[in-house]
Homo-oligomer: A and B are copies of this chain.
Amino acid sequence: MMEKIDQLIHAKWMITCEDENQILENHALAIKDKKIIDILPSDKAKTMYQATNTQEYNTHVITPGLINSHTHIAMNIFRGLADDLELMDWLNNHIWPAEGKWVSDELVYDASLLAMAEMIRSGTTCFNDMYFFLGATAKAAELAGMRAHIGMTVIDVPTAWAKTPDEYFAKGLEFYHQYKNHELITPTLAPHSTYTVSLDNLRKVNELSNEYGLKINIHLQEAPSEVEQSLAQYQKRPLQRLHDIGMVSPNLIAIHMTQINEDDMDILEATRPHLVHCPESNMKLVSGACPVENLHRHGINVALGTDGAASNNDLDMFGEMRTAAFLGKMTAHDPKAVCALHTLKMATLAGAKALGIDHLTGSLSVGKCADFIAINLEEIETQPLYHVVSQLVYATPRSQVTDVWVAGKQLLKNRELLTLDKKEIIKKAQVWGKKIKN
């Protein structure tokens, strides 16, 4: 008697991103109640399971959905507004004035949909965001069907979203209580940085993290100037300051971390926070480079993120993987460093670990949610094929992502968005663009 299931997904290749059975050929995913209930050879699957829906990806590789571990997705609406500038010129004279004038619930909603369309079209199923008007991003994620971690931003500077730290906390907590039990949306804490949030407010963030069991995202040791200023002002590096108030733990997601000395490494090894590497943003803004291979050797988990599209300028995790591998080799002075599989894991399982959801997603594994993507490799750009992981990381353009699934629901089918209206999103982006440009 065959077992009735929802989906049977056959693929020429699968990369599980688990340590064992990394690359499978002619296998199938059996999916029931949004979860992977079996991974087995296609031949056998056809005799064991009767699926409501069967898909055959005969020239494709299936991987876990990509996890973009650091974003400011609504900034897609400002992409290309100001490039080739010093960070402070860019922020003070371009981005912050534009944000101050334009950021609103409506802008964040429309811009989030634009970003989600880009993410889904390039194989990203989950993102870890920091911005304003959290409810608008959450509403967009619900429509898109994406897995979203949304940060309760705290910053000691007034914005269109909140005027005082108290207001940031209050609005953040309101969001937390609204979404704390949501299937796909997870609130997190997101103090902007140690140079824009007071120690008192950072302590308050830490208390909330302990009280509600929330992850804390923070931009940390992004560039040499940040460390120098901290040393000048507090005679301590930013990581040390956070460690002193007990914030550095596996609950901390430290973003960027291009500056790591031996003392920092000692703290990281003792406390095990998760790091997020954003290689393209770091290169474009000349911030430095996170020493990924060295961290890997020390057993520190490093995930991958694009940062906002205003400083990247895309949300393309395929491009980000390629750059992460190239920059990782360069930083380690070793062409064997940050190999293709290591890079793919940064974009999948390491992201899930950082976000604290590796029991749910990040690899193809029985019991996890059916978050996966199919990439067609029978194209000019990816033939012939010797090593599927290598081809995926070093040669495959994001446009070869054909199908995307989150929790057993299909979001992209043969490159068509199923939950979002592409034409409408472009039209709205153009309307915003015209307003902002003037």
Q: Which residues of A are at the interface with B, using a C-beta cutoff of 8 A?
A: 77, 79-81, 83-87, 90, 114, 117-118, 121, 280, 283-286, 289, 309, 312-314, 316, 319, 322-323, 325-327, 329-330, 333-336, 339-340, 378-381, 383-387, 390-391, 394-395, 397-399, 422, 425-426, 429-430, 432-434, 436-437
Contacts and interface: CB of A to CB of B under 8 A. Distances in A.
A118 B313 contact: no
B87 A395 contact: no
A316 B379 CA distance: 14
B117 A380 contact: yes
A286 B80 contact: no
22 contacts: A80-B386, A80-B390, A80-B395, A83-B390, A83-B394, A84-B335, A84-B390, A85-B335, A85-B336, A86-B335, A114-B383, A118-B380, A121-B381, A284-B326, A286-B330, A286-B334, A309-B395, A314-B394, A323-B323, A384-B434, A384-B437, A385-B430
A383 B204 CA distance: 39
A429 B381 contact: no
Nearest to A87: B335
A133 to B, nearest CB: 19
Contact of A327 (B86, B283, B390, B436): B283
A395 B314 contact: yes
Given A326-B280, A380-B118, A397-B399, A80 B333 contact: no
Contacts of A323: 323, 326
Contact of A381 (B118, B280, B289, B325): B118
Contacts of A430: 383-385
Contacts of A80: 385-387, 390-391, 394-395
A83 B387 contact: yes
Select the residue from A87, A90, A387, A425 with max chain B CB neighbours within 10 A: A387
A286 B335 contact: yes
Nearest to A425: B380
A384 B429 contact: yes
Given A83-B340, A283-B330, A284-B335, 13 more contacts: A80-B385, A80-B390, A83-B339, A83-B394, A121-B381, A283-B327, A284-B329, A286-B335, A313-B391, A313-B395, A384-B437, A397-B397, A397-B398
Nearest to A339: B84
B114 A283 contact: no
A397 B87 CA distance: 25
A316 B397 contact: yes
A117 B378 CA distance: 14
Contact of A285 (B335, B378, B397): B335
A114 B382 CA distance: 10
A333 B223 CA distance: 12
B384 A329 contact: no
A384 B284 contact: no
A74 to B, nearest CB: 13
Contacts of A434: 384
A357 to B, nearest CB: 26
A117 B379 CA distance: 10
